[in-house]
Amino acid sequence: MYTRTPAFIQRYEQNPVLSCKDVPYETGLVFNAGVAKWDNQYVMIFRNDLADMQTQTLHQGHTNLGIAWSPDGKQWEVPDTPFLSQEQAREKCRAFHEPRFGDQEIKRVYDPRITVLGDAAYLCFAADTPHGICGGVADLGDFDRFDVLSLSAPDNRNMVLFPEKINGKWARLERPFPIYGRPGPENFDIWYSESPDGIHWGRNRLVLGSEEVPYVNNKIGPAAPPVKTEKGWLTTFHGVYKDEETPLNAWHENWFKTYYAGLMLLDLERPWKVIGMMKEPLLVPETEHELKGFRGSVIFPGGMISEPDGTVNIYYGAADTVECLANAHVDDLLSQCTPLA
Ligand code: BMA
* DSSP reduced 3-state for 91: helix
Tens of pLDDT along 257-297?
A: 999 999 999 999 999 999 999 999 999 999 999 999 999 99
pLDDT of residue 75: 98
Ligand 1 centroid to residue 60 C-alpha, Å: 15
Average pLDDT, the chain: 95
Closest residue by Cα to atom 8, ligand 1, is 111
| pLDDT value at 55 more than 80 | no
| pLDDT value at 57 more than 90 | no
Closest residue by Cα to atom 10, ligand 1, is 320
Q: Which domains does the chain have, with CATH numbers?
A: 10-335 (2.115.10.20)
| pLDDT value at 59 more than 80 | no
Would you list the DSSP string of 142-200? TTT--EEEEEPPSSEEEEEE-SS-BTTBEEEEEEE---SSSSSTT---EEEEEESSSSS
Closest residue by Cα to atom 1, ligand 1, is 300
| pLDDT value at 174 more than 80 | yes
The predicted model gives 177-181 an average pLDDT of: 93
Ligand 1 centroid to residue 269 C-alpha, Å: 31
Ligand 1 centroid to residue 153 C-alpha, Å: 19
Q: Is the dihedral of CA 261, 262, 265, 270 positive or negative?
A: negative
For the CA of 47, the closest atom of ligand 1 is 9
Ligand 1 centroid to residue 132 C-alpha, Å: 15
Ligand 1 centroid to residue 259 C-alpha, Å: 9
The predicted model gives 220-232 an average pLDDT of: 98
| pLDDT value at 53 more than 70 | no
For the CA of 294, the closest atom of ligand 1 is 12
Give pTM, 2 decimals: 0.97
Ligand 1 centroid to residue 181 C-alpha, Å: 23
The predicted model gives 241-267 an average pLDDT of: 92
* DSSP reduced 3-state for 131: coil
| pLDDT value at 60 more than 70 | no
Ligand 1 shell residues, CB under 6 Å = 32, 111, 259, 295, 298, 300, 317, 320
pLDDT of residue 317: 98
Classify strands 311-318 and 299-306 as parallel, antiparallel or unpaired.
antiparallel
pLDDT of residue 103: 84
Classify strands 220-222 and 227-228 as parallel, antiparallel or unpaired.
unpaired
Of 289, 320, 324, the residue with max ligand 1 atoms within 8 A of its CB, to mutate for a pocket test, comes to 320
CA angle 335, 116, 332 (to 5 degrees): 10
Tens of pLDDT along 114-148?
A: 999 999 999 999 999 999 999 999 999 999 999 99
